Amino acid sequence: MRSPVKRQKLIAEINITPFTDVILVLLIIFMITTPLILQSNIQVNLPSSSTGKPLEVARQISVMITNEGLIYLDDKLASKKMLKADVGRLHQVHPDLEVILFSDRMVRFKDIVGLLDIFNELGIKNLNIATKTE
């Protein structure tokens, strides 16, 4: 005599453990890669300062000048004329515009003074020079 075949109940719940594992792996990957993406590719060797202050959140732009005399406005290569035009436009829109100057320590002082003249002509009041704190 055969015993009657027992029907198994259908399990209707979803196992979310593999989904959670995948999400956690993606979270770790994004946490590691995001700081690398946000870093600038332009290398500037900043001078040191013992009285440096951390940047405050405001409408700000960064101007970098390399040892070779190349000027970058927010990571984009620019000439002095382009820099003056772009910063002037931004200053009209945001009168409290803050400019942060990143300069290699080996840049000629003449080049830095040229940039400072541009900012002075435009009426930029919030100008900071970036340094490494000791």
Residue 113, domain CATH: 3.30.420.270
Is the residue at 31 inside a domain? no
Average pLDDT, integer, range 15-21: 88
Q: How many domains does the chain have?
A: 1
Look at residue 38 and tell me if it is in a domain: no
Nearest alpha carbon to residue 99 among 82, 81, 77, 115: 115
- Residue 43 tokens read as 């290398």
**What residue numbers bound the domain in which 57 lies?**
48-133
**pLDDT band at 57, cuts 50/70/90?**
very low
- Whether residue 26 is contained in a domain is answered as no
Residue 104 exposed, middle or buried by CB count within 10 Å (0-12, 13-18, 19+): buried
pLDDT at 43: 65
Residue 9 confidence (pLDDT)? 77
- More confident site: 13 or 114: 114
- Rounded to an integer, what distance in angstroms lies between the CA atom of residue 26 and that of residue 70? 38
Residue 103 lies in a domain: yes
Output phi, psi for 110, to 5 deg: -60, -40
pTM, to two decimals: 0.56
